[in-house]
Amino acid sequence: MIVLAGILNVMELKQNILGIEFTNPTVLASGIWGVTASGWRCVAKNGAGAITTKSLWDKEHKGHPNPTIISNEYWSLNAVGIPDAGPEKAREEIASYMADHPVYPEQSRRTPLVANIVSNSKEGFGEIAKVIAELKPDAIEVNISCPNVEDELGKPFACSKPDAAGVTEAVKKHTGDIPVFVKLSPNVNNIGEIAKAVVGAGADGITAINTVGPGMAIDLKSRKPILSNRVGGLSGRAIKPVAVRCVADCYKATDGKVPIIGTGGIYTGEDALEIMMAGASLVGIGTAIWDRGEEVFKKVCEEMSEWCDANDVKDLSEIIGSIHK
C-alpha cells in the first residue's frame, strides 16, 4: 500500500508547465538557502520540484548588517537587503549547477532552476536578464517586489503598473524562449491590476507573493528595533491568507491564462492545495524549512498525495483555480 502510494505520488504531482517538467509542484522560494549551487543541489536532493536562486544583481550589492532574519513559530521578519557578489559569481554557480555534477547519486535528473534577478533600474534589469539568459536556466523570476531596500531604491517597481510592465518588457527583450515569471508584492491596493499589466508586457507567469509589510519587532529591554534595517518583510504561517487572496486576485485578473507560483506561509500539503485552489500551479516554500526541516518538500508532497487519494483527485488540474470555476 505504501509502495503503491509512492508510485501514485509521482504520477499525480508531475506537471509540464511552460515546457518545463516539474516532478512535483514544490519550489524553493527565492532568498532561502539559495546562495550557492551546492545549496541548490542539497535542496533538490531533499525533494523540491524546482529551485529558485537568491536574487542575482547586475553588479555587486551589499546587504544590511545583522540581525537580518528573526523567526518565531508564527512569523519571520527579514531584511537581508539582497546581498550578491554580481554576475561573475552567478555565472560560476549556475554553470556548476547546470553542468549537473553528480554529488548526490540518488538524484536521477537535474531539478529545474529558476534564476531570480533584481536591479535598481529598468536598464539594470535588462542587463542582468541578458547575462542570466546566456546561462540558460529553466526559467527566470524577476524580483520587483522586495520591501527591504526601500531606503535605497524607493518604492518597489511592483507598486506601479507602468513600472512593473516596463521592467517586464526590459527583461523579455533578452530572454528568448526562457519563461519569465514576475514576482509581485502583496503591499499594493490591487495586485490583480499589476498582474494584468506584467502579463500584458509579456510575462509568462507570476510569482505571488513577496513578503508582507514591512513589519517591525522591538526588544523591550533595550527598547530598540531588532532588525538592523529596523523593518523587514513578513513571512511564515501568518501570511498564508494574504498569499491565498493575492493568488486568487492574480488568477482572476489574468483569466487563469498564465501559471502562478503561489508563495507565502505554505507549510503543509493542505496549505499547498489551498493556494492551488486559489489559482497556483506551483507552490513556493521558504520559511517553513526552519519549522519542518529540509524534508518539508517531501512532506508537503506526501500530504498532498494523501489528500488527493482520499478525495478522489486524479490530476492536479482538478484542483488548480477551482474557486474560480
Residues of this chain that interact with other proteins (CB under 8 A) are 31-43, 45, 54, 60-63, 65-74, 76, 80, 83-85, 89, 101, 103, 217, 219, 221-222, 224, 226, 228, 286-287, 289-291, 294
Question: Which residue lies nearer to other proteins by CB, 221 or 325?
Answer: 221
Picking from 285, 279, 284, the residue whose alpha carbon sits closest to that of residue 258 is 279
Q: How far is the CB of 65 from other proteins (least distance, A)?
A: 5
Q: How far is the CB of 68 from other proteins (least distance, A)?
A: 5
Kindly report the number of other CB atoms within 10 A of residue 77's CB atom.
Answer: 27
Greatest alpha-carbon span in the chain: 57
User: Do 61 and 124 touch, CB atoms closer than 8 A?
Assistant: no
- Distance, CA of 157 to chain centre: 17
Q: Which residues are catalytic?
A: 146
CA gap 235, 249 in Å, rounded = 19
Look up residue 12 and give its three cell numbers.
Answer: 499525480
Q: How far is the CB of 224 from other proteins (least distance, A)?
A: 5
Q: At how many degrees (to 10) do helices 37-45 and 87-98 cross?
A: 40
Question: Which residue lies nearer to other proteins by CB, 98 or 313?
Answer: 98
Under DSSP, is residue 212 helix (H, G, I), strand (E, B) or coil? strand
Q: C-alpha distances in angstroms, 157 versus 63, 134, 146, 184, 185? A: 19, 24, 9, 9, 9
Q: How far is the CB of 300 from other proteins (least distance, A)?
A: 17
Exposure pattern of 298-320 as b/e (b: 16+ CB <10 Å)?
bbbbbbbbebbeeeebeebeebb
Question: Which residue lies nearer to other proteins by CB, 30 or 145?
Answer: 30
CA gap 232, 29 in Å, rounded = 17
Q: How far is the CB of 213 from other proteins (least distance, A)?
A: 16
